[in-house]
Amino acid sequence: MTRLDTSASRLRGLLTVVVAGASLLLAACEEEPPVLRVASKNFTENMLMAEMLAQLAEREGITVQRAIPYGRSAEVFEALKQGRIDLYPEYNGTGLVYLGQPAMSDGAAALARVRELYGPLDLDWGESLGFSNDYVLVMRPEDAQSQGIRTISDLARLGPLDIATDTDFIQRPLDGLGAMTRRYGLVPGKVLSYALDDDGKDKIVQALLDGEVKVAEMFRTDSQIDTFDLAVLEDDLQFFPVYEPSPLARNDALAKFPKLSGATTLLKDKVSADDMRRLIAQVEVEGRSVSAVTLGFLAEAGLVDAAAEASAGGGAEALKVALGGLDALSGPAGRAVRATQVVFPKRSIEVVRAANPLDLVVSGEARLAVVGTESFYSLEDGAAVLSSSAEAVGVVGYRLAHLMVTASGPGSLSDIKNLGVGEAGSASDRIARNVLAGLNVEGVQLISGASGDLNAQVEAMTKGIVDAVFVMAPLGDTAILDIMKNDRYRLLSIEGWSEGNAPIRYSFLRPAKVPAGTYPGQSQAIETLSTQIVLAGPSGEREAFGAQGPGTTGTAATQPIPPDTVKKLAAALGSNEVVDPAAPVAAALRPELEEGPQPLVAELPTSIINLLATLFIAWMIYLLFTRAPKSRLKEPPSDLHITPAQRNE
């Protein structure tokens, strides 16, 4: 065989290998299943519906890629048109707005209309899920009642409209804030806007409850409406369109996945407004994951096997976060729970309650706890002693002491004989004992009550069973707001804290004021005390000394939170403040110092001058103690003889 034949043979062999490899590669590519891209908008309700669609598609064997959440309304819709996603839940009212159509109050007619309009765009509207989530304007009930506001038109009597909204509502050209004020002839005022994917709903409600605005924009299914008993104003001009959600999909995706249409149709009329409020509360209030809540609902509706739901739920043990009996999930405690969910997205979060939540962390019954800095201390012989084996992993906020009395009740703390302090061992109970001891107030009987029942304590005060009620709560707490709107109660000042040694004995208690106007009828600022609220976990350090010997164990009840996780939790809480120095803090949050001793370095001329000065001082001291001073008297002549008798004279 010639060299040419050999080369040709090698070339044919190489081509055979290349062709075979290419064939295998193409076969592998052909074997990869197509992927359905499911997306959602950036608020909980839409995320829940998108997850329902994704899980039902997976039940039919479709491979799903999630973008939950994807972004704001316009961003998600644009992504669908451009083919970057295949499916997401949309509202028929919003669909009309996108194409500049007038609002419709008939849901069935609106669905038929968007199907007609979107057909030429190769987009398909599926069946309605069964509820409508319209925009609504809400007010504090006492404000609406006192000012006679029942409809949106009535707002014109209030002058400039101060309103809190989500950022998406401001930008909507046809059914948003600008269009609404024009339709109703309202005068624009202060506008506070918040992104929905940044605890926006909570911030909107808080701005309304704090009195920063007169009105708030919300969705009809928002759980906060029921939680705070907000007054929903009638849309008397029927400005807002009906908003019934349906799956909105690309036609090419429906063709690619023949079972997709049947899977999404399973949700037809399966979700009521009450269902959605309940599911939203499970995510936003209880801190559960969207996937877990969705799977539970689908099992309840009979759309997935209950056994499969139980099996999926048992894959990871719930992460328990301990709260106090009076910790409202609409306040700082709820923010801590949601931050935990952000850091542990694959874990189901379970809220447990106890008088002192830190006890559950120390015993290993809970992983994290929302507590005041006083929880790390015990009261011994009139002094606070650091006694907990837990540590702070992030700052949540502050609680202030609220000393409530009736309008005709005691005029000062020293006049109180019976003081209601809530559940024994609670933050209110412990702080009340510290305050009485710190101010040397004697003769006060502390009366404990049931866990989390503030109204029962106030009722006991009304009946004269107790003279006052002591409560530790965040500033503007909604439960206290509800009580104080009745003119029968007022807040009593706690004065004189800084005049003695109380700040040293109880370093975690700081003087504070309740600003005037915080609560109904409060015309003046109230002197009080505050404690920092922290998220706490098991301590990462063994105590240097303490219980020792055969009876002690060598390991903690629970493992400490890893440093990286501590930093993530602190960041998710969003506080710019550091942990109060009175509380033990996780090592990951302490200032970082360079390792090893740092030498004191001085410039050479300065060192020489210091050395010479030191030598000079040493020489002077030497002269002072080693050389006797000369006598001021003249020495007698050497030839002068002094007899013994003369010497003794």
Strands 468-473 and 418-422: parallel
Mind listing the pLDDT tens digit for each residue in 273-318? Answer: 889 988 887 777 666 778 888 999 999 988 887 655 555 544 456 7
CA distance 52 to 508: 47
For residue 471, report the phi and psi dihedrals to the nearest 5 degrees.
-135, 130
CB 54 within 8 A of CB 65: no
CA distance 327 to 324: 5
Give the per-residue pLDDT at 596.
52
pTM confidence score? 0.55
296-299 contacts, C-beta under 8 A, 24 or more apart: 297/52, 298/52, 298/55, 298/56
CB 420 within 8 A of CB 447: yes
Mind listing the pLDDT tens digit for each residue in 64-98? Answer: 999 998 988 889 999 999 999 999 999 998 898 88
Lowest-confidence range among 251-260, 337-346, 361-370, 594-603?
Answer: 594-603
Mind listing the pLDDT tens digit for each residue in 466-515? Answer: 999 999 999 988 889 888 887 899 999 999 999 888 998 999 999 999 99
| pLDDT above 90 (res 146) | no
| pLDDT above 50 (res 615) | yes
Mean pLDDT of 327-353: 84
DSSP designation for 426: S
Mind listing the pLDDT tens digit for each residue in 315-324? Answer: 456 789 999 9
Q: CB-based contacts of 617: which residues, under 8 Å, 6+ apart?
A: none
CA distance 170 to 57: 34
Mean pLDDT of 427-438: 94
Please name which of 365, 123, 130 lies closest in space to residue 246, comparing C-alpha atoms: 130
Which residue ranges form the domains of the chain, and what is each CATH number? Answer: 35-132+244-315 (3.40.190.10), 135-232 (3.40.190.120), 352-544+556-589 (3.40.190.10)
| pLDDT above 80 (res 419) | yes
CB 304 within 8 A of CB 298: yes
Strands 215-219 and 445-448: unpaired
What does pLDDT average to over the chain? 82
Q: Which two tokens stand for residue 298?
A: 């689908």
